[in-house]
Structure formats: C-alpha cells, structure tokens
Amino acid sequence: MSVIYLLISISIIVAIVFFIAFVMAVKKGQYDDDYTPSVRMLFDDELKTKKQIKTNPEKQV
Amino acid sequence: MDTSQKCFHCGLEIKKSDLIVFEGKDFCCKGCQTVYEIFSSNDLGCYYDFENSPGATPLDIEGKYDFLDNDKILEKLLDFQEESTAVVSLTIPHIHCSSCIWILENLQRLESGIRSSMVNFNEKTVRITFHSDEVSLKKIVNLLSSIGYEPYISLENYETGTKKEDRSLTIKLGVAFFCFGNIMLLSFPEYFETNEFWIDQYKGFFRWLIFALSLPTFFYSASGYYISAYKSLRTRMLNIDIPIALGIVVMFVRSTVDIIMGYGQGFFDSLAGLIFFMLLGKMFQIKTYNFLSFERDFKSYFPIAVTKLSQGLEESVPVYDIVKGDRLLIRNQELIPVDGILLSAEATLDYSFVTGEANAIVKKSGDKVFAGGKQIGQIIEMQVLESVSQSYLTQLWSNDVFQKKVNQHFKTITDKISHYFTPILLLISFAGFGFWVYFDLNTAFNVFTAVLIVACPCALALTAPFTFGNILRILGKKKIYLKNALVIEQLAKVNTLVFDKTGTITTTEKATIDYQGQEISAQQEIWIKNSLRASNHPLSRMLYNFLPEAAFLNIDRFEEFVGKGIQTYFDGNKIVLGSSDFVENPQPSPVVETSIHIAINDVYIGKYVFKNAYRNGLSALFSSLSQKYELHILSGDNEGERRFLADFLPKNTQLVFNQKPEQKLEYIKTLQEKGRNVMMIGDGLNDAGALAQSNVGISVSENVNVFSPACDAILDASEFQNIGQFLKLSKQAIKIIKMSFALSLLYNVVGLAFAVTGNLLPLVAAIIMPLSTITIVSFVTVMSSIYARKLNLK
C-alpha cells in the first residue's frame, strides 16, 4: 500500500500542471471577455469560400 | 397609429420628404443607403441578418482624422508596431449587437490591408491587426466611419488598472478552488474511519499534504481580507472584513496546532471551502454590479438632444452621438453638453450648474467653452472638442449644490447597522467562547469560529445598492433617466402629482397652427423664423418647424422674456413675438386661445393660433393615477383649455391657469406645507423653480436640450404614458428592500442561534455565509426584474 505515496504525488503534480496552464491562460487574457466568443461561434464560414470563387476570376483579368 | 416607415439600416423613422428607396428597401438618408451599398456589393449582406436595423448613419468626417498622419500620435495610439504589422485597439461606441460583432470581425473583406480584427463586446473595442505599409490608420478610421462605426479616439484617456485587478481576483479564485478541491479529496480517508491501522500508517502523509495545500489559499487567496482588516484597524474603525479575517486566521492556527500535536485532522477543508466560496461571492457581486452600471453609463438613455449643424442643415441628434469636430447650435437656456470652442462672436454663459455661481461669464469667439454651462440670450455656434462624457454630466447633476434635503432613509439604516454589527459580533463570539471553554475546548473553538463566519452583514450592505442599481438600469432602458438612487426612494413616497401643461401634457409634434392677420411678406417670414430659431419655448419650436425653410440670418440683438415673449433685431428691424399684451396688440380679442402674436417695427401684424394636441394615452393615464394620487395641472397658459380639460380629465383634478414661474413655485410650497409629498412634471423651461421646490422633479424631454439641473429625472416624451408604472415600480423597490432586510435578519438570527449553541460545524458555516451573499444579491436582482416585467416595463 505504500505505492499510495507515489500515486498521490503524481496526481498532485498533474493537477499542478493544469493549474499552471490555467494561470497562464488568465494572464494571457483569455478570461477577459466572456461574451463575444459565444456570439462569434454562431457566424457562418461558407461565405468566405463563395467570395474566393467570386474574386478569383477578377484576379485573372 | 404609426404610419411612418423605418429605415432598413438604422431603424429611425423616415420623414416622407427624405425617403430614399433602393433595391426595394427604405432608407432615411443617403448615408444609410451608402452603407447598405457598401455591404451588399462586398457580399456582407449578412450584417442585416442578425439584428433588425443594426446600423448607424455615417457622419461626415472630412478632414477630421488628418491628425492620424502624425507619427508621434500614431505611436501613442498603436498597441504594437513592428516591421509591417501594426495592431491598434479602437473604442467604438456604436457596438451594441451581434451584427456589429460580425461586421467588425469581417473588416478584411472591405479593406485588404487589414489582416484580422477581434471585438471585445463588453468593452466596446475592436483590436485590428493590419499591414502598415498597405493601409494607414487614418484609412481604417475613415473606413469605419463610412460604415457607421466611427471610433472614439481620445489622446488623453489611458485607462489601465481595473483590468489588472479583475485578473488577480480570477487567479485567486483559481488558487482557492484548486486547493479546496484537492484538500477535500485528500480529506476523504480520514472522514470515514479514524481507528483503522491503515489510516494510522498514512495519516501523517495526508495531513501534511493537506497542510501544504492550504498554504497558497491561506496566504494568497485570502490576502484581500487581511489587507482590508489591517487597513481598517489602522484607522480605528471596525469594518466587516475583520471578523472574516479573524475567523480565517483562528481556523488556520487551530488546525495547524491540531495536526502538529496530533489532536485531530484540523479544519483545513472548511478553511479552504470558506475562502473559495467567499471569493466566489465577491466575483459574483462585482460582475453583477459591473453589468448594472455599464448598462446605465453606456447603454441607457440620456435624453438630451442637441442641434447639430452639418452642411448647413440643422438636425437634432442625441447628445451621445456627438463627436469631436461637430458644430453645434446652442439656443437660449440650452446646456453646453461638451467642451468646445466658441465660433460665434460672443456668448453669455451661466455656469451656476457647475460652480454654483449665477454670474454670467462672457466668452468671445475662439474661447474654449466648458460643458455644463447654460447659454443666455443669442444663439451661438460652437465646435466640439470632446465627445460627451455622460458620467461627467451625471456628476454635475449630482453636485451638492443641487441636493435636496431629503431623508436618506435606507442609507442610514445600512450605515447604522454596519457601525454596530462588527462590535456586537465580536462580543457574541468571545462570549460564546468564554461560555463553552468551561465545558469543552473543542466546542468552544468551534463556536468561536462559527459565530465569526456565519454572521453576514454583507447582505444588509448589499441589498440597497443592488436593488437600486437594477431599478436604475431598468428605468434607464425605459427612457427615464434618474439622477441617482435616492430618487427612487423619493418616488415611492410621493402622493401628489403636479403637471405642467404646455410641452408636458401637450406634444409639440402634432399641433395644428393657423395664421390670422395681415399678409406677411417673404422677408418678414424669414425674420420671424430666425427669431424663433433662437428660442427654446415649446410654442417657438412648434412654430419654427411649421414655417418653411429659410436662410439663416445674423441676429443683432435677442432677448427672451420668460412667460411673455421674445424680441429680436435684424438690421434695425424690431421683431416682437409673444403674448397679446407683450406685443401691445391694439385689438385684444376676448377669445381665449393659445397663440403667438407678431409685431414688426411696433406695428401689429397678426397671430398664429395653436390647437393643442394632447399626448396619447393622457386620459387613461390620469384616470389610473387619480385612484392613488392627487392630481393638479398648473399652466402658464390662459384659460382657453379649461372646459376641454375638465371634461377630458378625472373630476377631482385641480386645474390652475395663468401661472407665472414664481406662482408655480408658491403653489408647490403651499401643497408641501399642507403635508403633501409633491412630484412635479414639467418641461424644465419655466418650471425650473417649481421642479427644484418639489420633492421629485421630472422634466419631460421631447428632443430638446432643456436640462434643468434642478430636476431629479429626465423622461423621454415617448414614455410619458408609463408614469404610473414608474411610480409603482419605485414603490415595489422599497418593498423588495424591506423583504430582503427581513430575510437576512432572519438568516443571521437563525445562524447565530445554531452557532452559539455549538450545533454549527465550521464547514457548514463556511458554505452558508457566502451562499447567503449570493442568495440575497440574486434575490433582489431577480425580484426587481420580475416586478418590472409584471408592470410591462421590460
């Protein structure tokens, strides 16, 4: 049962790694705006490809 | 019966004469149509799919941003500049919906030099990354303006600080949660069995690990409380953070002693839980409060309109749409809404609003004029230097000079309670400890910490700000802008309503005007129109809008006599407009009617007769109000409308006519001496004294810039018929506060009873305390929103 020393130590280390990732994310500002990403998710991407097709023939001319 | 069309782009009503139809859609002006064209030809029609009429009319900014060519200024504004890539953050006040986010994040389609852009909706900023050798900042700003998203560029304001603070709270919360979760997990083995062999073997390991995990949260996450408690002790005051800090420290010390001496497991789980939940409560509080005040400062309606001159045309625009470089027309008695430079030859300004001194200051052309002054006399033109600072104006408004001596009932209760709360609490906790120490040391410590933690004064302190904050926000959305939270309390106490007639219950939009008298030549009509232009009286405005467009003339001399009329001189010609007596009418008619008489060069010419149009819903409003309130109508006008009003309004409405401004003030004073609590509703012009005298003064704004600082609230004319609802809501706000006080008192009493009798585990106390904060804040916010919805105010 003494393996429990090792097990718990490793799990604490893993937890700390994630914690550091969290702190880095906060410092980078990912938590500053929690509203806009929710709206941004809903925008469509298809229009981009339509536009590319449209502009290509123009470029050739 | 609204038959006017709305512009497809910006949603404002279109005047028939300005209607532009393009591709089957209606637009109110060339600007909106141009933006639509830009969008549709660049395949950005999606802009209109997310929200209805999300656009804004682009403003003319020719030459306005030339200063952006200057490298030094560019350095200040850009966030980042390296080789050919540059990043800039621009504040765009018009961001208000998902369409805005969409178009601003798709700018690269409109301008190839832009690489990408990202919107921060809450802060109304957009961060644009662009190739500085392909496109300049000036071009980007011009582009944004041309689609109606003109940025607000201020070289003076650099706002830092608040962002960093928020981040530290998030990190503290993260640390607290990390420690709390892990400590709880590691505490599990000891919860279940303390006598097993296995546990004895590993007890030490677990306990010291738990101790190590509690250090970050104890020293870092809770540091805010220690600092606050220390600061308060230094100033010999006892604030509410002291019991909390004391409780945490005692818990920590006791738990450490426990594990060192082997007495037990300690209370690290409760400690970490306590810190976590309290920080959670704090974060919730901050977010809710930011939401409420952001809405009020940036989204709510500050119903002052100013007249802007663009390309020789006058248009009425809301005050927060003014930007630097605009030219404004300020009339007699109108407020200077922003700092600017005087363009006209001379101006006489009354800064009593700002300084409290009523001595008028004379300014010459080229002088800087500051916001808050009131123009007296001639109309003036000025050029805007800064965008309006709504918070500055609100600050002026709340100036001590204009505070009424009102009973700040609820504030004093909160103050009193905070004052006594901490000493009483400390007393109870020490008493409890002293009592139990004779029986059981363990229980004594438990009681001590439980009492310190479970009692929550924050509920009492938070109730009023949050309730009022939410109500202010709701009312702001409904276009009634209150000076501050005290007004809500006053509104709830009102029992008598006094209404002004002209401009308040009548509307300047729909009156019909008839001319009777000698023929007026074209030149005379131009004179009359120009005289009217300088006056802000509702009748002047009505007549001004009625007369046909005319060229602008320079006025030699202008004087407005309150309650009587105006006198202007053009090239030696004297134009007098006003009441029959003022104009010295040789044949005064016995018929009593609302009219403006005209005399040019001392010769009586004729009169314009007004048929008053009363606001929609007036009769219904008065019937419902008369059930709870005493109603009065005070008018400066003559008795002409008495019969009509007596029929139109409920039987016991008092109708008084021919009131001069001083008489209106006296009338209100008399009512107050009889013990009535009076609310006056007027247009702010000749009611200024009465508005100041009354307990609550509301000024009704109909696209005019009449801002009397004596008023406590500004109501947009379109929401006039909702006055009854607003009064009801304020009464319910007070009810909510009372309910919440009762709730939190109950909670405290019950909690303390459990704690003192030793029945409350610190862990349970630790969870309940911040939970109570969250519950109270949610309770008042939700209740006020529910009441508002019930009254159909949302």
Contact call for A22 and B186, based on CB within 8 A: no
Q: Which residues of A touch B209 (CB under 8 A)?
A: 8, 12
What CATH number did the domain enclosing B530 receive? 3.40.1110.10
In a domain, B432, yes or no: no
In chain A, the number of structural domains is: 1
Q: Is B521 on the interface with A (CB under 8 A)?
A: no
Q: Which residues of A touch B202 (CB under 8 A)?
A: 1, 4
Domain-ending residue, one of B554, B579, B611: B611
User: To the nearest whole angstrom, how far is the Cα of B186 from the nearest Cα of chain A?
Assistant: 9
Domain-ending residue, one of B299, B332, B349: B299
Q: Which residues of B touch A15 (CB under 8 A)?
A: 178, 182
Residue of A nearest to B176 (CA): A19
In chain B, the number of structural domains is: 5
DSSP B650: -
**Are both B601 and B682 inside the same structural domain?**
no
User: To the nearest whole angstrom, how far is the Cα of B352 from the nearest Cα of chain A?
Assistant: 42
Q: Is B215 on the interface with A (CB under 8 A)?
A: no
Closest CA to B273 of B243, B248, B240: B248
Cα(B560)–Cα(B541) distance, integer angstroms: 14
Which pLDDT score is estimated for B300?
46
CA distances from A24 to A20, B215, B555 (A): 6, 21, 66
Contact call for A44 and B122, based on CB within 8 A: no
Which pLDDT score is estimated for B409?
56
Contacts of B282 (CB under 8 A, 6+ apart): B169
**Kind of pairing between the strands at B346-350 and B374-375:** antiparallel
- Per-residue pLDDT reduced to its tens digit, B237-280: 777 778 778 888 888 988 898 888 877 777 888 888 888 888 88
Of B174, B198, B209, the CB nearest to A22: B174
Single-letter amino acid code for the residue at B124:
K
Contact call for B167 and A31, based on CB within 8 A: yes
Cα(B650)–Cα(B629) distance, integer angstroms: 12
Q: Which residues of A touch B117 (CB under 8 A)?
A: none
**Kind of pairing between the strands at B305-310 and B327-330:** antiparallel
Residue of A nearest to B163 (CA): A32
**Are both B624 and B476 inside the same structural domain?**
yes
User: To the nearest whole angstrom, how far is the Cα of A30 from the nearest Cα of chain B?
Assistant: 10
- The secondary element (H helix, E strand) that includes residue B202 is helix B197-216
Cα(B495)–Cα(B623) distance, integer angstroms: 15
Single-letter amino acid code for the residue at B537:
H
Cα(B787)–Cα(A14) distance, integer angstroms: 49
Which pLDDT score is estimated for B180?
92
Q: Which residues of A touch B174 (CB under 8 A)?
A: 19, 22-23, 26
Q: Which stretches does DSSP call E strand in B290-392?
A: 305-310, 313-318, 327-330, 340-342, 346-350, 360-364, 368-369, 374-375, 380-384
Of B46, B122, B186, the CB nearest to A47: B46
Contact call for B167 and A22, based on CB within 8 A: no
Establish how many alpha carbons lie within 13 A of residue A61's alpha carbon, considering only the half-sphere containing its beta carbon: 5
Q: Is A3 on the interface with B (CB under 8 A)?
A: no
Which pLDDT score is estimated for B21?
82
Q: Tell me the two tokens of residue B493.
A: 């106490």
Burial class from Cβ neighbours inside 10 Å (0-12, 13-18, 19+) for residue B108 reads middle
Other CB atoms within a 10 A radius of the CB of residue B579 amount to 19
Mutate to test the interface with A, among B202, B220, B295 (most CBs of A within 10 A): B202
Of B46, B101, B201, the CB nearest to A39: B101
**Kind of pairing between the strands at B512-517 and B603-611:** antiparallel
Of B101, B122, B166, the CB nearest to A40: B101
Q: Which residues of B touch A50 (CB under 8 A)?
A: 43
Of A4, A32, A34, the CB nearest to B163: A32
Establish how many alpha carbons lie within 13 A of residue B56's alpha carbon, considering only the half-sphere containing its beta carbon: 24
Which pLDDT score is estimated for A49?
47
Residue of B nearest to A52 (CA): B109
Structural domain containing residue A51 = 3-60
Residue count of chain A: 61
Contact call for B122 and A36, based on CB within 8 A: yes
In a domain, B419, yes or no: no
Q: At what angle do helices B723-756 and B618-626 cross, to 10 degrees?
A: 40
Q: Is B168 on the interface with A (CB under 8 A)?
A: no
**Are both B284 and B181 inside the same structural domain?**
yes
Which pLDDT score is estimated for B706?
57
In a domain, B411, yes or no: no
Structural domain containing residue B601 = 512-611
Residue of A nearest to B178 (CA): A19
User: To the nearest whole angstrom, how far is the Cα of B793 from the nearest Cα of chain A?
Assistant: 25
Mark B7-32 as b/e (b = at least 16 C-beta within 10 Å). bbbbebebeeeeeeeeeeebbbbebb
Other CB atoms within a 10 A radius of the CB of residue B83 amount to 8
Cα(B218)–Cα(B222) distance, integer angstroms: 6
What is the complex's ipTM, to 2 decimals?
0.74
In a domain, B28, yes or no: no
Which pLDDT score is estimated for B690?
81
Mutate to test the interface with A, among B46, B98, B288 (most CBs of A within 10 A): B98
**Are both B476 and B490 inside the same structural domain?**
yes
**Are both B261 and B169 inside the same structural domain?**
yes
pLDDT at residue A5 above 80? Answer: yes
CA angle (B664 as vertex; B659, B666 as ends), nearest 5:
120
Contact call for B123 and A33, based on CB within 8 A: yes
**Are both B558 and B688 inside the same structural domain?**
no
Of B101, B166, B205, the CB nearest to A36: B101
Torsion angle of C-alpha atoms B139, B144, B150, B151, degrees rounded to 10: -70
In a domain, B391, yes or no: yes
Of B118, B121, B170, the CB nearest to A35: B121
pLDDT at residue A45 above 60? Answer: yes
**Are both B41 and B60 inside the same structural domain?**
yes
Q: Which stretches does DSSP call E strand in B459-602?
A: 480-482, 496-500, 512-517, 557-561, 565-570, 573-578, 594-600
Of B119, B174, B202, the CB nearest to A26: B174
- Per-residue pLDDT reduced to its tens digit, B111-129: 888 888 888 887 778 889 8
Chain A, residues 11-50, CB within 8 A of chain B, namely: 12, 15, 19, 22-23, 26-27, 29, 31-36, 39-40, 42-44, 47, 50
What CATH number did the domain enclosing B470 receive? 3.40.50.1000
What CATH number did the domain enclosing B86 receive? 3.30.70.100
Q: Which residues of B touch A55 (CB under 8 A)?
A: none
Which pLDDT score is estimated for B158?
38
Q: Tell me the two tokens of residue B657.
A: 């006519």
Q: Which residues of B touch A14 (CB under 8 A)?
A: none
Residue of A nearest to B185 (CA): A8
Closest CA to B698 of B722, B710, B685, B681: B681
Which pLDDT score is estimated for A24?
93
In a domain, B446, yes or no: no
State the first-to-last Cα distance of chain B, in angstroms, to the nearest integer: 22
Establish how many alpha carbons lie within 13 A of residue B95's alpha carbon, considering only the half-sphere containing its beta carbon: 22
Cα(B143)–Cα(B122) distance, integer angstroms: 23
Which pLDDT score is estimated for B757?
82
A-to-B residue pairs, Cβ atoms closer than 8 angstroms: 61
Cα(B533)–Cα(B514) distance, integer angstroms: 19
Which pLDDT score is estimated for A12?
92
Residue of B nearest to A16 (CA): B178
Three-state DSSP class for residue B567: strand
Of B43, B121, B209, the CB nearest to A51: B43
Which pLDDT score is estimated for B427?
87
**Are both B84 and B109 inside the same structural domain?**
yes
Mean pLDDT confidence for A38-42: 83
Q: Which residues of B touch A29 (CB under 8 A)?
A: 167
Of B109, B119, B171, the CB nearest to A26: B171
**Kind of pairing between the strands at B125-131 and B603-611:** unpaired
Contact call for A43 and B105, based on CB within 8 A: yes
Of A5, A23, A40, the CB nearest to B105: A40
User: To the nearest whole angstrom, how far is the Cα of A61 from the nearest Cα of chain B?
Assistant: 18
**Are both B174 and B283 inside the same structural domain?**
yes
3-state secondary structure B148-201: CCCCECCCCCCCCCHHHHHHHHHHHHHHHHHHHHHHHHHHHHHHHCCCCHHHHH
The arrangement of strands across the sheet holding B346-350 comes to B360-364, B346-350, B374-375
- The secondary element (H helix, E strand) that includes residue B116 is strand B114-120
**Are both B293 and B313 inside the same structural domain?**
no
Look up the pTM and report it: 0.61
Helices (H) and strands (E) in chain B, counts: 24, 28
**Are both B250 and B336 inside the same structural domain?**
no
Q: Which residues of A touch B120 (CB under 8 A)?
A: 32-33, 36
**Kind of pairing between the strands at B654-656 and B630-634:** parallel
Cα(B381)–Cα(B314) distance, integer angstroms: 12
In a domain, B498, yes or no: yes
Bridge partners, B515 (sequence order): B608
Cα(B449)–Cα(B760) distance, integer angstroms: 10
Q: Is B116 on the interface with A (CB under 8 A)?
A: no
Q: Which residues of B touch A36 (CB under 8 A)?
A: 101, 118-122
**Are both B185 and B271 inside the same structural domain?**
yes
Residues of chain B with pLDDT under 70: 1-4, 59-64, 153-166, 193-195, 289-305, 318, 320, 352-358, 388-418, 456-461, 508-511, 590-592, 684-686, 703-710, 793-794
In a domain, B415, yes or no: no
Contact call for B198 and A33, based on CB within 8 A: no
Bridge partners, B701 (sequence order): B716
Which pLDDT score is estimated for B302?
52
Cα(B53)–Cα(B39) distance, integer angstroms: 13
For every residue of B591-622, DSSP letters joined together read S--EEEEEEETTEEEEEEEEE--BPTTHHHHH
Sign of the torsion formed by the C-alpha atoms of B737, B738, B741 and B747? negative
